[in-house]
Amino acid sequence: MSGIAQKLASNQKQVAISEFFEKNKHFLGFDSLARSLITAVKEAVDNALDACEEARILPTIKIQITKLDTKKDIVRMVVEDNGPGIPQKSIEKVFGQLLFGSRFHAIRQSRGQQGIGITGVVMYCQLTTGRTTHVRSKIANEPTAAFVDIGLDTRKNKATKANAGREIWYNEDGTGKEHGTEVTAEMKAKYQKGRQSVWQYLRMTSIVNPHAEIIFVDPEGERHHWTRVTERLPTKVESIKPHPHGIELGQLQRMIAESKDLNLNHFLLNNFSGVTNRARKELCQAAEIEGTRKMKSVKGDDIRALLESFQGERLFNGLPVKLLKPPTNCLSPIEEMLIKKGLSKTIDSRFVTTLTRVPSVTQGNPFQVEVGLIFGGGMAGDKPVEILRFANRVPLMYQQGGCLLTKAIESVDWRQYGLDQPGGKGVPKGPAAILVHLASTNVQFTSEAKEALADNAEVMEEARKAMLEMGRGLRKHLEKKKKMAKTKEKFELINDILPAIAEKSAQILERPIPELSGSITRIMSAVISESTTEWNKETKQTDVEIILFNYTSRVRAYTILATWPEKAGATMEKNETGGRKEALGVWAWKLESLQPGEKTTITYSLGGLERGDWTETEILFRGSQDVIGATKMDEKFLQEIRRQEQILGESGVVEPEAETDQKQAETVEKTDEPSEEKIEPAVAPPDGQRTLFGGDV
C-alpha cells in the first residue's frame, strides 16, 4: 500500500494557469466557432477602448474580418485603434502572459480586471491554427512602430516572440500613423449574422460608448460605420480603498500581515474607505482591541473579532458601528442623455426614456444601475422586446435567461405600462428595446466567460426600481399621445365644420360671419399644452418653448413644471418668466391666472449642452383642471427626486453645484414674478391652428 501511495504522490504536479485555460478554453468564451470570434473581437475592442479612455483620447476603432479558408473555418481578425500605443518592451507581457494587468488590485470600474482577455485570444489562435498573433504598436514620441509575432508557452505562462522589428506605419490615406495599436490574429472561427454576431456586439458597444467611432468591414466587404455622437469622454475613475463591509477573513489576514503601519489605529485609517476617526475608535472598542496595539501582535482571534466588528456582529453601545459609504468617484456611468443619444443613433424611434439611479453599495462595493427604453419606430410589435444588457459598458451577448438583469426586467408587470406580457411574467412583447447597464467596481458574473450577472439582492432591487420608474415614463407618454390624438381630432373637426356652417348661415341670412372664439372655447372645454425643444445653431444652446392654451370658460391657475438636464451640467438661460428650482432637474413657474380663450408662453434656453443632448422636455403641472399634453405632478415622483438629490449631496458628488443652484433658485424666487404678457385670442388663423399639433406627438 505504501508503494501505491508513493506512486500516486509522485504523479502529482503543479499545473500552470495558462495550461489550465488551454484545456478549458470554454471558461474564457471559446466554446463554439461563432462565439470564439465574438470573444476575440470583444477582448481586442475592450482593450482599445480602455487604453484610449485612460489616455483621454476619443477612440476610433477599425475591425476587419476576412475568411481565409471556408472549409476549415479559418478567419483573420484585424483590430486597429488610435490609442496611446504600447512600449516595445511591454508588448510581450501584455499579449503573452495570463493574469498580467494593472486592474486586478485596483478597486474601480473597468471593462476587464483579470488580465486574461487578449492573452486568451493569442492562446486560442495558437491552439486552433498553430499561428502566432501579429502585434504592431506605435507611441507618439517614436518615429516608427514596433511589430512582433507573439505566441504563448503555456507551461511557463510566458510569451514566445519572433520576427520583431520596427517599421513606418502609414494610414489608409498615406499619412503617418501618430499612435495606436493593431492586432492581427488568425483562428478557427465562424462568422455569422443575427442577434449573436460580431455586428450585434459592435452595435451594442456603440450604444454604451457614444464617444467612440467604430468602423467594421465584414467578410463580404460591407462597411458598417457607427459614428461618435459626443465629444465628451467618460468621467475618469479613481481607485478607492476597500470598504470594511466587503472584507473577508483571509483578505484581512493578508492585509494585516503585509501592513507597515505603526499600530491598529493607523491601519484602520490608512487602508479602508468609510472609516472616520470616530468609526476607528468604535471598531476597536467593539472588537475589544486597543487601537495602539502593534500590527505584529494582532493575530488569530483578534483578527476575527475585528472582522466581526466590520460586519456588525460585534456591537458598540448595542448598535453596529456606523461607517460612511465608499466614495463613488470610482464609477463612470454612461449618463441619461448619452444613453439616449446612443440608442437613437442605432434604433429608429419616436420615444426614448432613460434613467440613471444614484450610486448604491453591495457588500462594500459601489454600483450604479442605468436603464433606457426606446419605443415605436419600425420595431416589430408582436415579438419580444429586444433586451440590451451591459456590465461596465461591455455588451453581454449570451445566457440572457440566466442573467440577473433579465430577471429584473421579467419581475415587472409591463402590461400596466403599455406592453404585452402574457400572464404578467417573462420578457414583454411590443415595439420596444430595453437597455440595462450595471456600473460596478466588482461585477459578479456567473462564470469566467463574463456573459451573465449572478444573483444579488441589492442589485436586483435597484434594477427593478429603475424598471418601474422607466415604465411609468412610457405609460405617461402613451396616455399623453392618446389624449392629444383625441383632442387633435376634435379640434380639427370643430375648426372644419363650425366655420363652414357659420359662413353658409351668414350667406343665407345675409348677415356678417359671427365671431366663433367663444363657441369653440365652450365646445373644446380643455386646457392644452404644447412644447418644443430645438437646437439653436447660432447660440449653440437648446431653446425650449411651452405654450398653455385655455379652451375653457373659466379662469385657470397652474404651476407648470419642466424637466431639464441639470445633472449633466446644463444651465438655465434667458428664463424671463422666472420661476424657481423645484428639485434636481425640475423647474417650476406659477401662473396665477389664465383667462378663458387665452394663452401664455414660457421660453428659456439651456446652455452647456451639445447638439442632440436634449431633444424632449417633459411638462408637468399642478392644478384642478387636467392639461392635455402635460402630466399631473406625482408628488411621490418629486419626493424620489429630492431623495436622490440628498443622497448625491451626502456622497459629495454634486453638493457644490446643488448649493449654488439652490441659492440661484432662491434669488429667482424672490425677484422674479410670473410673466403678464398680453394674451392672444384662442383661435389663430388656419396656419396657426395647425402649429398647435405640429410635429411628432
According to CATH, the topology of domain 336-476 is Ribosomal Protein S5; domain 2 (3.30.230)
Q: What is the mean pLDDT of residues 261-280?
A: 91
According to CATH, the topology of domain 518-691 is Immunoglobulin-like (2.60.40)
- How do residues 517-557 score in pLDDT, each as one tens digit? 666 666 667 788 888 899 999 999 999 999 998 888 888 89
What CA–CA distance (Å, rounded) separates 367 from 411? 20
- Select 244-310's CATH number: 1.20.140.10, 3.40.50.300, 3.40.50.620, 1.10.8.50: 1.10.8.50
Q: What is the mean pLDDT of residues 97-117?
A: 60
C-alpha cell at 308: 466581526
Q: Please check whether residue 56 is in contact with residue 236, taking contact to mean a CB–CB distance below 8 angstroms.
A: yes
What's the pTM value of the predicted model, to 2 decimals? 0.76
- What is the reported pLDDT for 206? 94
Strands 526-536 and 627-628: parallel
Give the closest residue to 430 by CA, choosing from 378, 380, 373, 374: 380
What CA–CA distance (Å, rounded) separates 338 from 229? 8
Q: What is the mean pLDDT of residues 71-99?
A: 87
Q: What is the mean pLDDT of residues 580-604?
A: 88
- What is the reported pLDDT for 493? 66
C-alpha cell at 499: 366655420
Strands 213-217 and 60-69: parallel
Query: Per-residue DSSP letters for 563-621?
Result: E--TTTT-EEES-TT--EEEETTEEEEEEEEE-TT-EEEEEEEEES--TTS-----EEE
pLDDT band at 658 (very low <50, low <70, confident <90, very high): very low
- What is the reported pLDDT for 327? 87
Does residue 14 carry a pLDDT above 50?
A: no
- What is the reported pLDDT for 681? 36
Q: What is the mean pLDDT of residues 305-317?
A: 89
Q: Mean of the per-residue pLDDT values for the chain?
A: 81
Helical spans, DSSP H, in 13-146: 17-23, 33-54, 88-96, 117-129
- How do residues 59-71 score in pLDDT, each as one tens digit? 999 999 999 988 8
- What is the reported pLDDT for 126? 87
pLDDT band at 693 (very low <50, low <70, confident <90, very high): very low
pLDDT band at 10 (very low <50, low <70, confident <90, very high): low
Task: Delimit the domains of the chain by residue range.
Answer: 17-226, 244-310, 336-476, 518-691
Q: What is the mean pLDDT of residues 257-265?
A: 90
What CA–CA distance (Å, rounded) separates 599 from 364? 54
pLDDT over 70 percentage in the chain? 81
Instruction: Count each helix (H run) and each strand (E run) in the chain, helices first.
Output: 17, 24
- What is the reported pLDDT for 490? 66
What CA–CA distance (Å, rounded) separates 515 from 520? 10
Q: Do domains 244-310 and 336-476 have the same CATH topology?
A: no
pLDDT over 90 percentage in the chain? 31
- Select 17-226's CATH number: 3.40.1000.10, 3.90.1150.10, 3.40.50.300, 3.30.565.10: 3.30.565.10
- What is the reported pLDDT for 518? 60
Does residue 578 carry a pLDDT above 60?
A: yes
- What is the reported pLDDT for 659? 38
